[in-house]
Amino acid sequence: MVGAEAIQQEPRVTRAADFDEFYRRERAALYRALALTVRDPDVATEAVDEAMVRAYQNWWRIGGYDNPAGWVYRVALNWSISRARRRRRELWPEPPPPEPDCADSVLAAAVAALPDKQRAVVVLRFHMDWSLDQIAAALRIPTGTVKSRLHRSLATLRSELEDARRES
Amino acid sequence: MSLEQQLSEHFRRAADSLCPPPDRLARVVQRGRRRRAAQGGVIALVAVTAALAVPALVGSLGPARSVSAKSSGPATVSGSPTDASSGDAAALPARGFVASGPRYSSLEELVAAGHLILTATVEDVLAAGSEGPPGEEISHLDTVVRVGEVWKGSAPGATVTVRTLELAFAGPNAKEWRQHGERVVLFLSPSTENEGLYIPAKVNYNQTIYVVTDDDLLATFPDDELAQRVAAMTLPQLRRTVRQG
C-alpha cells in the first residue's frame, strides 16, 4: 500500500453532520473536474451524483478522509468507466480537431488526446490544484506514478504545442 | 506563460463554459437525512437493546454456539429481518435484526453453511427499499458483484446480487465493503424470501464478508474472533481451505 493511500485508508470516524457543507462546497468543482476528464457533461453529472450518494451513505467513514473529494472523484470516475463498459462503447467522445491559429484550441485538442489516466492526473493537478499526494490518494496509485504520468503528459503537450507552432 | 499556467487557464475557461450541473440530489439528500435521523433513533435503540440482550442471550446459552449445535440455538449478533427464518433464527424476535443469524465457531462450519462461496468485485450498489412501520423503516441495499472465482456452489450468472441491511456496516467497528471496485470474498446463501438474491450465509454479517487487497484479506467486522482468523490467512490459503471443504 502506498503512503498516500495508507493515509486515506485510515479514516477518522466522523459525523454525518458536515456532509451538507461538503456537498455544497465540492459538488460543482468535482463535476467540472470529471467533465473535463471524461469530456461528457451528462455522464459527469450522473457520475458525481452517484458518487455523492455513496459518500453520503458512508459519510461516517468518508468524511474522515484527508480529502473526501478525492474519494468522490475516484468513485465517479470508476462509475463512468463501468457505465461505458456496460454499454460497450467508448466513454470519451473523439476530441474535436484544433482550430488553426488558436493556441488554446491546440492545447484543448492535445489534452483531449491524452490517455485517460494521464488526463485525469493533469486535470486534478492543474484544474483542481491538488497536491501529488492528494492525487495519488484519490486515484489509489503511488505518488511516483502520479509524477511520471504528469511528466509524460507535459512532455506530450509541449511537443504538440511546439509542432503546432512550427506548422503555423 | 508556462505550460502549467496555460493548462490552468485552459481548464478554467473550459470549466466556465460548462453549464452548472442540475442539483438533482439536494432534495434526495435532505429526504435521506430526515429518514436517516429517524432510522438513527431506531438503530441506536436496537444497538442498545442488542448490547443488553446479546450478552443475556449468550449468557443463557453458554459460550457462543456453532450452527451445528442446534439444540442450543444460535448465538448471534447480526442479520436481516428478511430471511430471518433461514438458518437457525426461527426462535428469535421478529424485529431483532441484530440477532437473527448463527455465529460460526470455525471456518469449517462457515464453509459448510455457505451455499455459494466466491471472490467477486463490487459493480454496483442499489437501494433496495425498506420495510417496517412508518418511522421505523429499515432499508436494504442490493450489492451487485461481478463473479471472480467460485470456490463452492455455482453462481447463477456473471453477477450475483447480495441483499444486506443498509446500515449493517455503518459503524466504527465495521468496514464498508459495498462500494464500487471493492474486491471481496463472500460466503453466501440464497435468499429464502427474494428469489434470485443472495444473503450473507444464513444471515451472518460478521463472519461472511472479507475485503481483498492483493492477496490479503480484511475482515468487515475485525472484532469477530473467527473473522480475525480467516483474515489472517492469505487469499490462496483461504481458497485452498474452502475448496478442500
Helices A143-167, B3-16: inter-axial angle, 10-degree rounding: 90
Question: For residues A58 and A65, what is the distance between their CA atoms, to the nearest angstrom?
Answer: 11
DSSP state of B202: T
pLDDT digits (tens, 9 = 90+) for A44-84: 888 898 888 888 877 777 888 888 999 999 989 988 887 77
Q: Does B27 touch chain A (CB under 8 A)?
A: no
CA distance B232 to chain A (A): 17
CA distance A110 to chain B (A): 11
All residues at 6 or more sequence positions from B215 whose CB lies less than 8 Å from its CB, including other chains: B234, B235, B236
Task: Extract the runs of DSSP E, i.e. beta strands, from B34-115.
Answer: none
Question: For residues A47 and A31, what is the distance between their CA atoms, to the nearest angstrom?
Answer: 8
Q: Does A127 touch chain B (CB under 8 A)?
A: yes
Compute CA distances B10 → A102, A111, B6, B15, whole Å.
12, 10, 6, 8
Cβ burial, residue B97 (10 Å; 0-12/13-18/19+): buried
Give the number of beta-carbon pairs within 8 Å between A and B. Answer: 93
Give the domain ranges of chain B.
3-61, 83-244
Residue pair A151/A136 in contact by the 8 Å Cβ criterion: no
Q: Which among A25, A61, A124, A125 is the top mutation candidate for probing chain B, defined by the most B β-carbons within 10 Å of its own β-carbon?
A: A61
All residues at 6 or more sequence positions from B226 whose CB lies less than 8 Å from its CB, including other chains: B103, B104, B105, B106, B107, B110, B207
Q: Say whether B41 sits in a helix, a strand or coil.
A: helix
Check CB contact under 8 Å for B4 and A75.
Answer: no
CA distance A82 to chain B (A): 8
The residue among A154 and B167 whose pLDDT is bigger is A154
Q: Single out the residue of A96, A126, A120 nearest to residue A109, CA to CA.
A: A96
Q: Which fold has domain B83-244?
A: OB fold (Dihydrolipoamide Acetyltransferase, E2P) (2.40.50)
- Each of the 245 residues of chain B gets a pLDDT tens digit; together they read 788 888 888 888 888 877 666 665 554 455 455 555 554 444 444 443 333 333 333 333 222 333 233 333 333 333 343 444 333 333 322 222 332 467 888 999 999 989 999 999 998 888 887 776 666 667 788 999 999 999 999 999 999 999 988 877 766 677 888 988 889 999 999 988 788 889 888 777 889 999 988 788 888 888 788 988 998 898 999 999 999 87
> Would strands B209-213 and B138-152 be described as parallel, antiparallel, or unpaired?
unpaired
Closest residue of chain A to B177, computed from CA coordinates: A58
Question: For residues B189 and B80, what is the distance between their CA atoms, to the nearest angstrom?
Answer: 13
Compute CA distances B11 → A35, A78, A92, B31, B92, whole Å.
11, 21, 17, 35, 59
Q: Does B7 touch chain A (CB under 8 A)?
A: yes
The span from the first CA to the last CA of chain B, in angstroms, equals: 67
Check CB contact under 8 Å for B180 and A13.
Answer: no
Q: Does A81 touch chain B (CB under 8 A)?
A: no
Residue pair B177/B222 in contact by the 8 Å Cβ criterion: no
Residues of B in contact with A123 (CB under 8 A): 11
Q: Does B123 touch chain A (CB under 8 A)?
A: yes
Closest residue of chain A to B171, computed from CA coordinates: A60
Write out residues 6-45 of A within 8 Å (CB-CB) of B: 13, 16, 19-20, 23, 27-28, 31-32, 35-36, 41, 44-45
- According to the model, what pLDDT value does residue B135 have? 60
